[in-house]
């Protein structure tokens, strides 16, 4: 029986019109996830437009594997579009990406922080400039391959963790604003596992069905942050001292950029009974400060640039009892958020966490549900 779109019947993307009359821009990285999203929507009859961003030098990227948005990935995205019969465009965002993501990554790393550039890329490039491009293309919405869920509750879009906790990307998407959330769609968030996504890719006959997942930050090959920083800021690798918490010099280092908070290996300090860890980086003094593991434990976390997705205004009450995630690899834990303003707060972890670092995100989750209440940036050592 044909659906009657005049009585408020909604299509799978939430619009009261046939899929053929609904234009959706799909952000295509060339990987399995976004390719499946595009193929799925094309098969459902939507007016699909694929867009891939060239984020850095295409020539240098052609030989690069294991990262998104490289030259090979652009080719793969274009091929999927050809296989499924929808238009595909490559947009040169190299300058935007450098200004909005790479430069800040380098500067914050040099300041002793541990940045998460993928969050800034989503916030400042994909969900900002690319989203505006989608609107310029008269698209009704933009879809991505992220593992996160958008749920409509009382006519309001909420952000929820993915059904598959092992694939959940909420830590990297906390800064999605309510306005962006109204426009975005995440068709994979409800799937129980990545195996389901690959099964769909095989079903659609996609050439990328068996393509490995990307592992690295797209401009950081092999996860070697320091080598990238040295290229971006040639004078960054100044040597200095490794000191204990009392300021005693224990050894020398070849540059603060080679160390991260919580690091144990590679310190070059032997003959000690108690293992030492990097507990702080003093960029001005060029000091790598080390101490015992218990010195890493942090209970109080200052957070700023908060994006709040809760129903009531963030700063209209003294405390919020929530769960928070201070590292992407750790599960959410109970905490109390005490707002200082609409965009700043102090977060008290009820159980101290090791290795909390400036530059990382602190993401807020509603206790007892899968809802994401927003988050902010950890901005100095506790």
Active-site residues: which are they? Answer: 121, 218
Cα 112 to the center of its chain, rounded Å? 20
Query: Are 348 and 340 within 8 A, CB to CB?
Result: no
| C-alpha–C-alpha distance, residues 191 and 82, integer Å | 26
Q: Is 369 helix (H, G, I), strand (E, B) or coil?
A: coil
Of 139, 182, 148, the C-alpha closest to 167 is: 148
Place of tokens 């799978």: 12
| DSSP line for 292-331 | -GGGGEEEEEEEEEEEE-SSS-GGGSS-EEEEEESSTTS-
Of 347, 308, 346, 344, the C-alpha closest to 325 is: 347
Query: Are 188 and 146 within 8 A, CB to CB?
Result: yes
Half-sphere exposure of 132 (CA within 13 A, CB side): 5
CB-based contacts of 148-151 (< 8 A; 24+ apart in sequence)? 148/173, 148/186, 148/189, 148/372, 149/186, 149/189, 149/190, 149/370, 150/181, 150/184, 150/185, 150/186, 150/189
Q: 10 Å Cβ neighbour count for 138? A: 10
Using alpha carbons, list the distances in angstroms from residue 79 to 44, 110, 207, 245, 357.
19, 40, 8, 56, 41
């Amino acid at each position: 029986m044909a659906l009657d779109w005049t009585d408020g019947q909604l299509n799978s993307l939430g619009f009261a019109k046939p899929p053929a009359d609904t234009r959706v821009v799909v952000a295509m990285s060339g990987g399995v996830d976004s390719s499946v999203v595009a193929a799925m929507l094309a098969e459902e009859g939507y007016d699909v437009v694929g867009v891939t961003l060239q984020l850095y030098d295409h020539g240098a990227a052609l030989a690069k594997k294991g990262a998104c948005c490289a030259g090979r990935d652009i080719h793969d995205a274009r091929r999927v579009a050809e296989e499924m019969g929808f238009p595909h465009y490559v947009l040169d965002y190299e300058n935007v990406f450098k200004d909005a993501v790479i430069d800040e990554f380098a500067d914050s790393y040099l300041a002793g922080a541990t940045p998460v550039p993928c969050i800034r890329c989503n916030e400042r490039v994909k969900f900002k400039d690319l989203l505006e491009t989608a609107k310029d293309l008269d698209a009704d919405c933009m879809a991505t391959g992220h593992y996160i869920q958008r749920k409509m509750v009382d006519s309001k879009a909420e952000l929820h963790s993915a059904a598959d906790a092992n694939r959940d990307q909420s830590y990297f998407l906390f800064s999605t604003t309510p306005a962006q959330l109204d426009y975005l769609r995440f068709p994979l968030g409800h799937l129980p596992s990545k195996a389901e996504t690959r099964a769909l890719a095989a079903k659609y006959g996609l050439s990328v069905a068996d393509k490995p997942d990307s592992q690295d930050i797209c401009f950081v090959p092999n996860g070697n942050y320091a080598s990238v920083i040295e290229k971006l800021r040639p004078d960054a690798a100044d040597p200095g001292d490794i000191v204990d918490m009392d300021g005693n010099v224990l050894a020398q280092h070849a540059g603060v950029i080679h160390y991260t908070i919580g690091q144990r290996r590679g310190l070059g300090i032997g003959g000690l009974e108690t293992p030492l860890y990097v507990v702080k980086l003093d960029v001005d003094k060029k000091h790598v400060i080390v101490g015992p593991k218990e010195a890493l434990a942090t209970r109080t976390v200052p957070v700023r640039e908060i994006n709040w997705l809760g129903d009531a205004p963030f700063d209209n009450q003294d405390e919020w009892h929530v769960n928070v995630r201070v590292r992407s690899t750790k599960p959410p834990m109970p905490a109390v958020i005490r707002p200082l303003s609409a965009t700043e707060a102090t977060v008290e972890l009820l159980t101290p966490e090791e290795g909390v670092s400036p530059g990382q995100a602190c993401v807020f989750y509603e206790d007892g549900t899968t809802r994401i209440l927003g988050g902010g940036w950890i901005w100095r050592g506790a």
